[in-house]
Structure formats: structure tokens, C-alpha cells
């Protein structure tokens, strides 16, 4: 019995020790803010962590001391119970209260650290879907990979097409709700070029876990080039090269859900006009390679069970042909 209890205690210690290590290794750890908001969130995070850590040490230290120093001894009578100790109670209510007030003041100070909208702010509408992201730029539509220019304020309008989602890119911004029937605004100014991982941070159904997004902060000239490219329809040359694939696309009613500029205008699923220029498919579930895309088209359920992309009975050759066409949409 005693040994089993000791084993349980050791297991609990191991879990406790692993938890911070696992959290540190996770990609969504709010410690390296790359924008004004993200830095203010990191700062708050460390402030609260420091206070909590200090109290953890004080409380655990006191507890250990009391356990050892006042342990029961043979033949000793029970200690006299204490009922009510006003001064002590005032301390242990007063100190947490003062800490909460201080944290509250710091939090309020950091909320809305960047609310003024710059005259040249770039407006982008983000729409959350089960389980992918739609991005509407002036003159272009994209999905799951958000490009933003470095040094220019980005003004996000956050919407949802179905249930509540939550936009979260820890290194760039805090969490912001995406609520059906409501428009939430969020602004941030990317400072460093790079690639930033994000995810949906509100449980929104079966595939909430694969509602990932990637933000690419591009140099302004690169961003302008990218945006101009995304605004282009599919070239006639690509269409005429892939006549057979286009027939498969139509025969399988892909266009009922997906849009390809000049070919179909489905709205229920990601726009594919420039699918070939994205690095992942299925909102992050697979790398965007011709083989992965062909496998995804045949049986998306295998990779993302419960998603709205049905299983298609396509031969390997047909799936590859369709994938080759989609990969040429750059
Ligand atoms: Cu969308 Cu969770």
C-alpha cells in the first residue's frame, strides 16, 4: 500500500516536471512577441507567471516546513484548534486582492495598445469556416495562408460563416473571437518578415484541431507582387493545358463548393484559384505536394475525418491529373 502510494507520488512529480518542458516546446507559447500587442501580452504573461511562481514557492515552502516541523510525535496530545483569526484572515484575503487589482490595472493598460487606425491601413476580412480560414483582400481572395506587408498596419475584420471561431497567432496578436453575425476588428503592424503559425483557439467542432493558419509577413514589394498575382484569374494557357482535368473537375461537381476564377464560384470551401502557391492543404493538415493533393482529393476523410470534403471515387490516374491541374494554379 505504502509503496503504491509512493509510486503514485513519483508519477505525479514526473508529470508536474514534464508539463513546463512540454509547454516550452509547443509552438503556441506566448513568449516571443513580434508586434506591439504580442509583446504586451508576453509581458503580462511573464508578470502573472512571476507572481504565481513566487506564491507557489512561498506556499509550497511553508507547507513543507509545517509538515516536517509540526509532524505528529508519539505520545503528543492533539494541538489546540484555532477558530477564527481576524488579523490572519485579513492578510490572506488582502494580499490576493491587492495582486488581482494590480494585474487588472496592468491588463487594462495593455488592452487596446494599438487601436488608432492608420490612414494607409490594409483592410483584410477574415471569415472563419468549419474548418478553414477565408481571407478577402482588396481585389483577391485566399485561404489558410495570410500574407501581410511588414511595416504597414493591417486592419482585420473578423467574421464567421457558421460557429464561433477564434483567430490566434501568438507571435503577432492576442486571441480575437470570430462570431457569427458580428464583426470584430483587430489591428496590428507586422515588424519582422517571417512565417508565423496560428490556429483557431475556440473549440468549433470535430476538426477544430486542424484549423491552422500560417501568416507570412512579406517585405512590402514582395507583398504587392503576391497580392497582384492573387488577383489574376487562371490563364487560358493553363486551362487549355488541363482540359481533361477540367472535365473531371466539372464531372465531380468540385465547383459546387470551390471557386476557381473564371471556372466555378462555389463559396462553401476554399478558393482554389491560386492553390498551387500555398504551402499546405486542408488548413495545415498536409504539405502541398502533388502526391498529397491527389491523396487528399481521393479521400480527405482519411486525413481530416469529419471535414466537409467528401470522399471521391477517383482512379489514381484521375486524381493525379486533377492534382496536377490544381498545382498549376499559382
Ligand atoms: Cu475554428 Cu476552432
Residue 129 has pLDDT above 80, yes or no: yes
pLDDT of residue 134: 96
Mean pLDDT of 56-63: 96
| Total domain count, the chain | 1
User: Which atom belonging to ligand 1 lies closest to the Cα atom of 208?
Assistant: 2
Going from the Cα of 206 to the center of ligand 1, the distance in angstroms, rounded, reads: 9
Mean pLDDT of 208-220: 96
User: Strand 176-178 to strand 145-149: parallel, antiparallel, or no bridges (unpaired)?
Assistant: unpaired
> Which residues are within 8 A (CB) of 22 and not within 5 positions of it... i.e. 6 or more apart?
none
215 near 195, Cβ under 8 Å? Answer: yes
Asked if residue 316 belongs to a domain, the reply is yes
Ligand 1 within 6 A of 211 CB? yes
Ligand 1 within 6 A of 297 CB? no
How does residue 28 score in pLDDT terms, banded at 50, 70 and 90? low
pLDDT of residue 62: 95
Lowest mean pLDDT across 30-39, 103-112, 292-301, 303-312? 30-39
Place of cell 490556429: 199
Asked if residue 247 belongs to a domain, the reply is yes
Helix axes 290-298 and 316-327, enclosed angle (nearest 10):
130
User: Which atom belonging to ligand 1 lies closest to the Cα atom of 130?
Assistant: 1
> What's the distance, CA 246 to chain centroid?
34
Asked if residue 3 belongs to a domain, the reply is no
Mean pLDDT of 208-219: 96
314 near 323, Cβ under 8 Å? Answer: no
Q: Per residue in 159-193, is it b (16+ CB within 10 Å) or e — as a string?
A: bbeebebbbbbbbbbbbbbbbeeeeeebbbbbbee
> Which residues are within 8 A (CB) of 220 and not within 5 positions of it... i.e. 6 or more apart?
149, 150, 151, 152
Asked if residue 323 belongs to a domain, the reply is yes
Mean pLDDT of 108-115: 75
* Closest residue to atom 1 of ligand 1, CA basis: 165
> Which residues are within 8 A (CB) of 199 and not within 5 positions of it... i.e. 6 or more apart?
28, 168, 211, 212, 213
Asked if residue 93 belongs to a domain, the reply is no
d(CA 89, CA 79): 20
How does residue 329 score in pLDDT terms, banded at 50, 70 and 90? very high
Going from the Cα of 239 to the center of ligand 1, the distance in angstroms, rounded, reads: 35
Asked if residue 289 belongs to a domain, the reply is yes
Lowest mean pLDDT across 14-28, 46-60, 135-149, 314-328? 14-28
Ligand 1 within 6 A of 165 CB? yes
For 278, the domain range is 236-327
pLDDT of residue 22: 62
Residue 136 has pLDDT above 70, yes or no: yes
Mean pLDDT of 172-191: 91
> What's the distance, CA 318 to chain centroid?
34
d(CA 37, CA 107): 12
Q: Which three cell numbers stand for residue 71?
A: 509532524
> Could you write out the DSSP letters of every residue in 121-155?
-EEEEEEEETTEEEEEETTEEEESEEEEETTS-EE
Going from the Cα of 201 to the center of ligand 1, the distance in angstroms, rounded, reads: 6
Going from the Cα of 95 to the center of ligand 1, the distance in angstroms, rounded, reads: 38
Going from the Cα of 166 to the center of ligand 1, the distance in angstroms, rounded, reads: 6
Overall pTM > 0.85: no
172 near 188, Cβ under 8 Å? Answer: yes
Ligand 1 within 6 A of 200 CB? yes
How does residue 151 score in pLDDT terms, banded at 50, 70 and 90? very high
Ligand 1 within 6 A of 198 CB? no
Q: What is the CATH number of the domain that holds 322?
A: 2.60.40.420
User: Which atom belonging to ligand 1 lies closest to the Cα atom of 131?
Assistant: 1
For residue 193, the number of C-alpha atoms closer than 13 Å in the C-beta half-sphere is 6
pLDDT of residue 33: 81
Going from the Cα of 55 to the center of ligand 1, the distance in angstroms, rounded, reads: 34
Ligand 1 within 6 A of 204 CB? yes
Going from the Cα of 202 to the center of ligand 1, the distance in angstroms, rounded, reads: 5
Mean pLDDT of 147-174: 94
The torsion angle over the Cα atoms of residues 274, 279, 285 and 290, rounded to 10 degrees, is 70
The neighbour count for residue 124, using CB atoms within 10 Å, is 20
Ligand 1 within 6 A of 212 CB? no
Residue 256 has pLDDT above 70, yes or no: yes
d(CA 58, CA 284): 43
Going from the Cα of 190 to the center of ligand 1, the distance in angstroms, rounded, reads: 24
Asked if residue 281 belongs to a domain, the reply is yes
Mean pLDDT of 102-125: 86
Ligand 1 within 6 A of 126 CB? no
Asked if residue 319 belongs to a domain, the reply is yes
pLDDT of residue 34: 85
Going from the Cα of 205 to the center of ligand 1, the distance in angstroms, rounded, reads: 7
pLDDT of residue 1: 56
Amino acid at each position: 500500500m505504502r509503496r503504491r502510494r509512493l509510486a503514485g507520488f513519483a508519477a505525479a512529480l514526473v508529470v508536474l516536471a514534464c508539463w513546463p518542458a512540454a509547454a516550452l516546446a509547443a509552438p503556441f507559447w506566448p513568449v516571443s512577441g513580434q508586434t506591439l500587442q504580442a509583446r504586451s501580452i508576453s509581458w503580462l504573461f511573464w508578470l502573472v507567471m512571476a507572481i504565481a511562481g513566487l506564491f507557489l514557492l512561498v506556499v509550497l515552502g511553508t507547507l513543507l516546513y509545517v509538515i516536517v516541523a509540526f509532524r505528529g510525535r508519539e505520545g503528543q496530545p492533539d494541538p489546540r484548534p484555532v477558530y477564527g483569526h481576524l488579523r490572519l484572515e485579513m492578510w490572506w484575503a488582502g494580499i490576493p486582492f491587492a495582486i488581482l487589482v494590480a494585474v487588472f490595472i496592468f491588463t487594462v493598460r495593455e488592452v487596446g495598445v494599438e487601436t488608432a487606425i492608420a490612414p494607409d491601413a490594409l483592410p483584410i476580412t477574415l471569415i472563419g469556416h468549419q474548418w478553414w480560414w477565408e481571407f478577402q483582400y482588396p481585389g483577391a481572395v485566399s485561404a489558410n495562408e495570410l500574407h501581410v506587408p511588414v511595416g504597414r498596419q493591417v486592419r482585420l475584420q473578423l467574421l464567421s460563416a457558421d460557429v464561433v471561431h477564434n483567430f490566434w497567432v501568438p507571435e503577432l496578436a492576442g486571441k480575437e473571437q470570430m462570431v457569427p453575425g458580428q464583426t470584430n476588428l483587430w489591428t496590428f503592424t507586422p515588424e519582422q518578415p517571417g512565417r508565423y503559425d496560428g490556429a483557431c483557439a475556440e473549440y468549433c467542432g470535430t476538426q477544430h484541431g486542424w484549423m491552422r493558419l500560417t501568416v507570412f509577413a512579406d517585405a512590402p514589394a514582395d507583398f504587392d507582387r503576391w497580392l497582384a498575382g492573387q488577383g489574376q484569374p487562371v490563364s487560358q494557357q493553363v486551362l487549355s493545358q488541363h482540359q481533361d482535368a477540367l472535365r473531371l473537375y466539372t464531372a465531380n461537381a468540385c465547383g459546387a463548393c470551390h471557386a476557381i476564377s473564371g471556372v466555378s464560384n462555389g463559396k462553401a470551401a476554399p478558393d482554389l484559384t491560386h492553390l498551387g502557391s500555398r504551402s499546405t492543404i486542408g488548413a495545415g493538415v498536409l504539405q502541398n505536394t502533388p502526391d498529397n493533393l491527389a491523396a487528399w482529393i481521393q479521400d480527405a476523410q482519411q486525413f481530416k475525418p469529419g471535414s466537409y470534403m467528401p470522399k471521391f471515387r477517383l482512379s489514381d490516374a484521375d486524381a493525379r491529373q486533377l492534382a496536377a491541374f490544381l498545382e498549376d494554379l499559382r
